[in-house]
């Protein structure tokens, strides 16, 4: 359905009712508990809805009372509305709680406008089995457009770099259609890129070498005793020895995952990439390169990041920044405007203004 212009979220966790316009780059800033993570989680829920996993998501989240704004006693329904292509194409769904702490679709409408026709085509969809209509196997027409759009949104978390990190485990060699949200198929995805998309692979390799000069290249070979599986290994620039991925620092491993995500071939890249606090553990030089990679990825898609880093914020324009604040217990999202910051920006960077609490999005009293 093309570019996502804006999204309305009503009744979801800390978000009472907010409509947020979205551009190619969207940087969420705000204090702890301001609602940044809930905003990103809303996209994850919509993707789960499109894949027929609403019931599973609600159970995993602890029931409807944990999902609805201030619980089921305060909020009667959860509503999402996504606007695409200059807002002429739309998808709307309303979910209501059940007696068994679940959520079921009560209203689902899709709108699509082919400009060769005088008016949009609106279709009310019928849900089945507690799941949204667009999650069905036999969707067609406008439902198919919506399903494709929502299914291409992905939320990524590369925070886990401990001994049991998914990125450090052996991967199935044929698990390479897309990079998984936890990076668990990093080895197999890189193997495929090296075999079939060498220019992008070399771009990723070059970005990593700028951050970690000791890195020469990945060693991507199926395991000798099981050629259906592969583990991520690498070669040092000053040695012929191979090293396991566990020998990377946490920050280096996170940066590798981010480089693969943002520099992968366009045809594999999600239409909307969402990452919560990607700067964790990164050196300032790596954060600078992260900002450049985000901008490159936004050329053919949309990127939504939440951050606590003033330094990362310095790499973006005010119009690319959305400030999350908490007012009367609810999350409020406001996009910055250069015109209101012109004088400030003559003397301070955007990150410095945030630290001075001139942008909002800081704990009260800070």
Structural domain includes residue 168: yes
pLDDT at position 134 over 60: yes
**For residue 118, how many other CB atoms are within 10 A of its CB?**
6
Q: Is the distance from CB of 18 to CB of 332 less than 8 angstroms?
A: yes
The proportion of the chain whose per-residue pLDDT surpasses 70, expressed as a percent, equals: 96
Q: Please state the rounded mean pLDDT for residues 116-137.
A: 77
The pLDDT-based confidence of 365 (bands split at 50, 70, 90) is: very low
Span 164-188, average pLDDT: 96
pLDDT beyond 80 at 302: yes
Q: How many angstroms separate the CA atoms of 98 and 108, rounded?
A: 17
Determine the pLDDT at residue 116.
65
In a domain, 193, yes or no: yes
- Rounded to two decimals, what is the model's pTM? 0.94
In a domain, 255, yes or no: yes
For 348, phi then psi, to 5°, come to -135, 150
pLDDT band at residue 366 under the 50/70/90 scheme: very low
- 10 Å CB burial of residue 352 (0-12, 13-18, 19+) is middle
Pair of tokens at residue 234:
């690498």
Instruction: List residues bridging with 27 in a β-sheet.
Output: 305, 321
Mean pLDDT across the chain, nearest whole number?
93
Contacts of 23 (CB under 8 A, 6+ apart): 302, 319, 320
Q: Is the dihedral of CA 47, 51, 232, 221 positive or negative?
A: negative
Q: Give residue 204's domain range.
A: 162-269
CA distance 46 to 161: 27
Say if residues 120 and 112 touch (Cβ distance below 8 Å).
yes
**Six-digit token pair at 66?**
């944990």
CA distances (Å), origin 264, targets 47, 62, 178, 200: 21, 35, 9, 6
Cα(first)–Cα(last) distance of the chain, in Å? Answer: 42
Digit-coded pLDDT (tens) for 247-260: 999 999 999 999 99
Task: Provide the percentage of residues in the chain whose pLDDT is more than 90.
Answer: 83
Asked if the structure places residue 223 within a domain, the reply is yes
Contacts by 191-194 with C-beta closer than 8 Å and gap 24+? Answer: 191/220, 191/230, 193/260, 193/264, 193/265, 194/218, 194/220
- Place 17 in a pLDDT band, splitting at 50, 70 and 90: very high
The dihedral built from the CA positions of residue 234, 237, 242 and 246, taken in this order, carries a sign that is negative
Average pLDDT over residues 164-175: 96
- d(CA 290, CA 206) in angstroms, rounded, equals 13
The answer to whether residue 346 is domain-embedded is no
- pLDDT at residue 144 is higher than 90: no
Specify the number of domains making up the chain. Answer: 1
Q: Is residue 288 predicted with pLDDT exceeding 70?
A: yes
> Which 3 state secondary structure label does DSSP give 318?
helix
For residue 237, tell me if it sits in a domain. Answer: yes
> Over the stretch 210-265, which tens digit does the pLDDT of each residue have?
999 999 999 999 987 789 999 999 999 999 889 999 999 999 999 999 999 999 99
- Answer whether residue 241 is part of any domain: yes
pLDDT of 71 reads 97
The answer to the question of residue 208 being in a domain is yes
């Amino acid at each position: 359905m093309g570019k996502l212009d804006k999204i309305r979220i009503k009744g979801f966790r800390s978000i009472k009712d907010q409509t947020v316009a979205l551009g190619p780059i969207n940087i969420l800033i705000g204090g702890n508990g301001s609602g940044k993570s809930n905003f990103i989680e809303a996209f994850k829920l919509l993707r789960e809805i499109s894949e027929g996993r609403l019931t599973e998501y609600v159970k995993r989240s602890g029931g409807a009372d944990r999902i609805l704004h201030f619980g089921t006693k305060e909020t009667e329904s959860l509503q999402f509305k996504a606007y695409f292509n200059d807002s002429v194409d739309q998808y709307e769904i309303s979910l209501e709680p059940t007696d068994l702490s679940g959520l079921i679709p009560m209203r689902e409408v899709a709108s699509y406008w082919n400009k060769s026709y005088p008016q949009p085509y609106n279709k009310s969809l019928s849900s089945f089995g507690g799941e949204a209509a667009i999650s069905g196997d036999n969707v067609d027409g406008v439902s198919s457009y919506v399903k494709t759009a929502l299914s291409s949104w992905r939320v990524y978390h590369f925070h886990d770099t401990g001994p049991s990190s998914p990125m450090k485990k052996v991967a199935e060699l044929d698990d390479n259609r897309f990079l998984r949200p936890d990076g668990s198929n990093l080895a197999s995805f890189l193997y495929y890129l090296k075999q079939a998309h060498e220019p992008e692979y070399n771009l990723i390799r070059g970005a990593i070498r700028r951050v970690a000069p000791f890195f020469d290249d990945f060693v991507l070979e199926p395991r000798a005793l099981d050629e259906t599986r592969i583990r991520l290994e690498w070669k040092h620039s000053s040695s012929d020895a191979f090293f396991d991925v566990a020998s990377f620092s946490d920050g280096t491993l996170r940066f590798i995952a981010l480089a693969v995500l943002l520099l992968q071939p366009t045809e594999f890249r999600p239409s909307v990439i969402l990452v919560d606090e990607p700067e964790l553990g990164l050196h300032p030089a790596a954060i600078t390169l992260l900002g450049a990679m985000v901008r490159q990825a936004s050329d053919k898609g949309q990127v939504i990041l939440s951050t606590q880093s003033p330094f990362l914020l310095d790499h973006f324009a005010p119009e690319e920044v959305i400030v999350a604040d908490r007012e009367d217990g609810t999350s409020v999202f406001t996009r910055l405007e250069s015109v209101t910051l012109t004088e400030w920006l003559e003397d301070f960077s955007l990150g410095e203004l945030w630290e001075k609490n001139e942008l909002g999005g800081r704990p009260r009293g800070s």
